[in-house]
Amino acid sequence: MMRHEVFRRLAIGAGAVAWTLAGPAGAVVVIDGFDTQQVLQIPAGGSGAASASGVIAAPQAIGGERDAIASRDMGSGFVDLLVNPSGTDSSLSFALGASPGAATIVWDGPDGNAETLDSDGLGGIDLTQGGVNTGLQVRARSDLATELVFTITGASGGVSDATLDLPAGTAYRQLFLPFSAFGTPELFANAGSLSLQIAGEPGLDVQIALVAAPEPSGAGVALAVLAALAFCHRRRTSLPLG
Amino acid sequence: MVRKEVIAFAATLVLGLPLGASAVTIDDFSTQQSAVINFGAPTPQTVTSNQAAPEAIGGSREITLTRHAPSFGTASVDSSLSDAGLLSLSMGAAVHADALLVYDGSADGTLDAGGLGSVNLIQGGEDTLRVIVRSDLDATIRIQFHSGSVDDYLYIEVPVSGQGTGDGALQVLEFALTNGDLLTQGAGADLTAVGAIQVLLFSDNASVDLQIDSISTVKGTPEPVAMSLLGLGLGGLVVAGRRRLA
């Protein structure tokens, strides 16, 4: 066995171990992986403001339920708020036709009500995992630059919000919104609800694949391992055959 | 002196402003019409809408909307529904789609390459194709002119630059009909005897949202000439003004 092949296998083995240690076994809290199908639509046509809302049991989402509201501010363009509609694409798609509109996603526990916020519905869950997690991680892309506005309520009261800028682009981006960006970051240690709002201009098309509160150190180790594997791969492919 | 100023001003108007005044409208999208593909299985989907449209050339407009696999979100195209006086092509998130508009004097859903009879698109000296449009992402509008043959035509591909916003300003795009902007397929076509026009809206991008205000042929608008004529007129006004002050 060639020396670089031994090195590569060792690196892969070490990577797998490190990934296991740093990944799901860490303190990552998945807010929503958008696996559970949910469909809200305001069809093109009609005229003026319109809205649609829905509630669905989502075992993989925090609190076990996802509330969603889609709205059109004016005009007659369609509004799509689709979560994994094909069953094979775990993501949320929010799309506006030729009219402005908004989407609101709420995780506030199993209240069965999309229209009313249950501000302590999550029962005081600690999204910081004892202070280990320091922010929200979002994997998303959008055809137009837009903003993702997160709002947290505390189970014992209090509300705070912060905005995450999502630049335009076709590739998914890993974005991080530190808890410290919120006016009252301590609410994340005793969360009652979390919501996400996207307000958009005509033509906005957004996809979100993950919202989570990751363990920063774990993510760092995982990235370092990935970088090491990439380096090994480059060495291997640059070496002469034989 | 005042008389000279008046003459210079009149010259400005005569030489500069009438450009584009003569026009043959292909469509200005004032009649309501729509074709929608709602979310569903990620297999290719096509819908059509064929109807009378008095403002369009030939009096009718046939629309075919196609959503390509593996898209599953909504795709829609409408005239004067989402926005009055505009054709709106909207694709949902990660949706690839295109729309074909056919003007052939009927609404039967098939291309009759001679259905318009023999329309002269340049009868008033029009030598420019004008498309007023906006789009959030880069897209292309392909316009084909047929003179009796489906396989032979003249065409132009109009690049529409994405503006990064869904409600940007409408852009006026103009192309010469006579000096090579038009490309030829097969034996081409005769712009003085057009039998059908097809307009295809497409893009390599998903999630495109594009709107067209109108498509027309207009008289002579090579911008540099227009601007130089306007400049000459304004220069005349300045000279006249200086002479008056002196």
Q: pLDDT (tens digit, 9 = 90+) per residue, B158-216?
A: 999 999 988 899 999 999 987 678 999 999 999 999 999 999 999 999 999 999 999 99
* Distance from the A107 Cα atom to the nearest Cα atom in chain B, whole angstroms: 23
What would the mean pLDDT of A198-211 be, rounded to a whole number? 95
Whether residue B6 has pLDDT greater than 50? no
For chain A, give the percent of residues with pLDDT over 90.
70
Pairwise CB contact (< 8 Å): A203 & B167: yes
Q: Map A197-211 to HEC letters.
A: EEEECCCCEEEEEEE
* Distance from the B1 Cα atom to the nearest Cα atom in chain A, whole angstroms: 54
Q: Which residues of A touch B81 (CB under 8 A)?
A: 44-45, 76
Which chain B residue shows the shortest CA-CA distance from A171? B94
**Cα separation of B70 and B75, whole Å?**
13
Pairwise CB contact (< 8 Å): B164 & A168: yes
Closest CA to B30 of B102, B78, B91, B101: B78
Higher pLDDT, B146 or B41: B146
* Distance from the A142 Cα atom to the nearest Cα atom in chain B, whole angstroms: 8
Could you give the angle at the alpha carbon of A179 between the alpha carbons of A176 and A180, nearest 5°? 110
Q: What integer pLDDT is reported at residue B242 of this predicted model?
A: 60
B81 touching A, CB under 8 A? Answer: yes
A128-132, A164-168, B178-182: least confident range: B178-182
What would the mean pLDDT of A183-193 be, rounded to a whole number? 97
Report helix, strand or coil for B160. Answer: strand
Q: What integer pLDDT is reported at residue B234 of this predicted model?
A: 54
A34 touching B, CB under 8 A? Answer: no
A133 near A166, Cβ under 8 Å? Answer: no
**Cα separation of B197 and B116, whole Å?**
9
How many helices (H) and strands (E) would you count in chain A? 2, 13
Whether residue A194 has pLDDT greater than 60? yes
Q: pTM, whole model, 2 decimals?
A: 0.76
Pairwise CB contact (< 8 Å): B92 & A41: no
* Distance from the A27 Cα atom to the nearest Cα atom in chain B, whole angstroms: 32
pLDDT confidence tier of residue A44, bands split at 50, 70 and 90: confident
Q: Which residues of A touch B211 (CB under 8 A)?
A: 98
Q: What integer pLDDT is reported at residue B16 of this predicted model?
A: 43
Q: What integer pLDDT is reported at residue B75 of this predicted model?
A: 94
For chain B, give the percent of residues with pLDDT over 90.
66
**Cα separation of A25 and A215, whole Å?**
10
**Cα separation of B187 and A46, whole Å?**
45
What would the mean pLDDT of B130-135 be, rounded to a whole number? 96
Q: What integer pLDDT is reported at residue B64 of this predicted model?
A: 97
Q: What is the ipTM of this complex?
A: 0.71
Rounded to whole angstroms, what are the CA distances from B202 to A159, A215, B89, B168? 45, 43, 10, 19
What would the mean pLDDT of A172-176 be, rounded to a whole number? 96
Q: What integer pLDDT is reported at residue B126 of this predicted model?
A: 87
Q: Which residues of A touch B205 (CB under 8 A)?
A: 143, 170
A85 touching B, CB under 8 A? Answer: yes
